[in-house]
């Protein structure tokens, strides 16, 4: 456990964020490796199919993780206030509500997959394999929730190392299985989907086992499993808006994917590849934002406004430095990175399209670093509705920009639309957070 209400803020944020960054990179490395293996051993159609399925599952997974993030903020406050009974009851409430919700998502999603893919204008030549892949991945939704809920509980007490350990084990095992089953035995896209579900099941098992063996103080006692309606409402006041905020983004991405699908299989494959690269840039920035949120929430529970302000400024500096580094890497190695994802027919066109996208994104990767940092501040102080509004502004303008630019300038227009959305988001976030920090400063004085 890591108490962020005392000691060096930079040290706390660094110690918390680095395992999150590594965990996210491992997860992304698996996702990227899965796409690389599918693209190189099954072919361009498999790479495109996984690219189409990804936004649908991201919608589901981000909504689930949003629920857990919001509940985690509340649990961080309870930990900061040293109210562990409320902490355990909160975990009980989110587990019960989330398992029911995830089952209600997974079953209809499995049944309605063909309709969803038709609405996304999936090309006929890859419709069948995309349907197979999408349906199998829906099976893993409840296990994804269980892992995220337990990991959020660990992170809320400042422990981001154990979730890293679980992801490391599952990611490495999953890549090995993909290499053996797809690379050696030449099995198809069904196997690729099944190994993904296996990783989700195993990560949930590892997290549950760890809670029982190593962190028993966080496990609800017998009487704490009973539903506390008032506490459940408070937890959901944090969790449901966060779930909505997380879900808004992939809804827009589904609309963006529908425009990409009109540009042909090569562009679909290229966009899948560069979307993985985007994730390497963006999700670690979200890890730093999570550290900001946890630090601020703990200090809010401990009633230390000055540490809230200083913690945010420290975190936003980390976001800026990371954004610069990832932009330089994309600029220098973009074509080489895209080449890792494809081999065989259409390789040159996929690499050309992917490199064009990254040539634009390299200049704007700092923008989402800032937006994530400001979002982390708002979540940490409990202003969840602000995060929803800002995300809605960003994804709406990004989607509109894609519809206007993709047909005219192709994949570069999709990248430019991202920058427009992030810039608009900052125009709203910055004045709000500066005003809120000024109020905190006055309270501290």
Q: What is the pLDDT of residues 265-277, one digit of tens each?
A: 778 878 877 877 7
Q: What is the pLDDT of residues 58-99, one digit of tens each?
A: 778 777 877 887 788 888 888 888 888 888 888 888 888 889
Q: How many CB atoms lie within 10 A of CB 186?
A: 10
434 within a domain of the structure (yes/no): yes
Q: Which domain holds residue 245?
A: 9-444
- Degrees to nearest 5, angle at CA 168 with 78 and 294: 20
112 within a domain of the structure (yes/no): yes
- CA proximity to 120, closest of 254, 251, 253, 274: 254
223 within a domain of the structure (yes/no): yes
User: Residues 182-211: what's their mean pLDDT?
Assistant: 84
DSSP per-residue codes, 10-52: HHHHHHHHHHHHHHHHHHHHHHHHHHHHIIIII-HHHHHHHHH
Per-residue pLDDT at 420 exceeds 90: yes
Per-residue pLDDT at 23 exceeds 80: no
397 within a domain of the structure (yes/no): yes
- Could you tell me if 30 and 202 are in contact, meaning their C-beta atoms sit under 8 angstroms apart? no
Q: What is the pLDDT of residue 190?
A: 80
- CA proximity to 152, closest of 209, 196, 87, 100: 87
Burial label, 118 (beta-carbon count in 10 A; 0-12, 13-18, 19+): exposed
Q: How many CB atoms lie within 10 A of CB 272?
A: 27
429 vs 257: CA distance, rounded Å: 27
Q: What is the pLDDT of residues 372-407, one digit of tens each?
A: 899 889 888 888 788 888 888 888 998 999 899 988
Q: Does the global pTM surpass 0.95?
A: no
Q: What is the pLDDT of residue 150?
A: 92
171 within a domain of the structure (yes/no): yes
Q: How far is CA 97 from CA 141, 154, 205, in A?
A: 14, 19, 19
Whether the CA torsion 429, 244, 398, 57 is positive or negative: it is positive
Q: What is the pLDDT of residue 191?
A: 81
367 within a domain of the structure (yes/no): yes
19 vs 22: CA distance, rounded Å: 5
How high does pLDDT run on average in the chain?
82
CB burial of 318-342 (b: ≥16 within 10 Å; e: otherwise) equals bbeebbeebbebbeeebeebbbbbb
3 within a domain of the structure (yes/no): no
Confidence class of residue 125 from pLDDT cuts 50, 70 and 90?
A: confident
Which residues, including other chains, have CB under 8 Å from residue 29's CB and lie 6 or more apart? 171, 175
CA 161 to chain centre: 18
CB burial of 194-220 (b: ≥16 within 10 Å; e: otherwise) equals bbbbbbbbbbbebbeebbeeebeebbb
Q: How many CB atoms lie within 10 A of CB 398?
A: 25
Give the chain's domain count: 1
Q: How many CB atoms lie within 10 A of CB 221?
A: 10
- Could you tell me if 331 and 364 are in contact, meaning their C-beta atoms sit under 8 angstroms apart? no
Q: What is the pLDDT of residues 206-256, one digit of tens each?
A: 999 999 898 888 888 888 888 778 877 877 777 777 777 777 777 777 788
DSSP per-residue codes, 372-412: HHHHHHHHHTT-HHHHHHHHHHHHHHHHHHHHHHHHHHTHH
386 within a domain of the structure (yes/no): yes
CA 436 to chain centre: 26
């Amino acid at each position: 456990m890591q108490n962020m209400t005392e000691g060096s803020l930079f040290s706390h944020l660094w110690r918390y964020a680095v395992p999150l960054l590594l965990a996210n990179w491992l997860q992304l490395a698996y996702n990227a490796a899965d796409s690389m293996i599918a693209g190189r051993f099954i072919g361009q159609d498999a790479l495109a199919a996984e690219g189409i399925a990804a936004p649908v599952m991201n919608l589901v997974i981000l909504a689930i993780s949003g629920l857990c993030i919001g509940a985690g903020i509340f649990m961080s406050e309870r930990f900061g206030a040293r109210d562990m009974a409320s902490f355990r009851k909160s975990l009980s409430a989110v587990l019960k509500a989330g398992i029911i919700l995830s089952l209600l998502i997974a079953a209809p999603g499995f049944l309605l997959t063909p309709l969803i893919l038709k609405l996304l204008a999936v090309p006929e030549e890859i419709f069948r394999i995309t349907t197979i892949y999408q349906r199998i991945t829906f099976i893993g939704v409840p296990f994804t929730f269980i892992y995220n809920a337990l990991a959020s509980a660990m992170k809320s007490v400042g422990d981001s190392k154990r979730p890293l350990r679980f992801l490391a084990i599952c990611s490495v095992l999953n890549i090995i299985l993909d290499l053996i089953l797809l690379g050696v035995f030449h099995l198809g896209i069904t196997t690729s989907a099944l190994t993904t579900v296996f990783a989700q099941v195993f990560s949930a098992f590892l997290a549950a086992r760890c809670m029982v063996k190593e962190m028993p103080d966080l496990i609800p006692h017998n009487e704490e499993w009973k539903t506390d309606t008032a506490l459940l409402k408070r937890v959901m006041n944090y969790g449901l808006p966060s779930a909505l905020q997380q879900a808004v983004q992939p809804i827009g991405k589904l609309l963006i994917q529908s425009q990409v699908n009109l540009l042909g299989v090569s562009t679909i494959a290229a966009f899948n590849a560069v979307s993985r690269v985007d994730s390497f840039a963006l999700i670690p920035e979200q890890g730093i934002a999570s550290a900001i949120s946890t630090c601020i929430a703990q200090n809010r529970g401990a009633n230390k406004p000055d540490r809230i302000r200083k913690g945010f400024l420290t975190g936003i500096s980390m976001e800026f430095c990371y954004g610069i580094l990832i932009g330089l890497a994309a600029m220098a190695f973009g074509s080489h990175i895209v080449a890792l994802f494809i081999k065989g027919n259409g390789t040159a066109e996929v690499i050309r399209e992917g490199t064009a996208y990254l040539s634009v994104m390299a200049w704007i990767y700092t923008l989402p670093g800032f937006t994530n940092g400001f979002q982390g501040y708002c979540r940490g102080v409990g202003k969840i509705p602000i995060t929803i509004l800002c995300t809605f502004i960003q994804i709406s303008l990004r989607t509109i920009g894609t519809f206007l630019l993709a047909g005219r300038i192709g994949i570069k227009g999709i990248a430019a639309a991202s920058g427009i959305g992030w810039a608009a988001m900052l125009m709203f976030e910055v004045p709000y957070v500066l005003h809120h920090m000024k109020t905190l400063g006055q309270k501290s004085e």
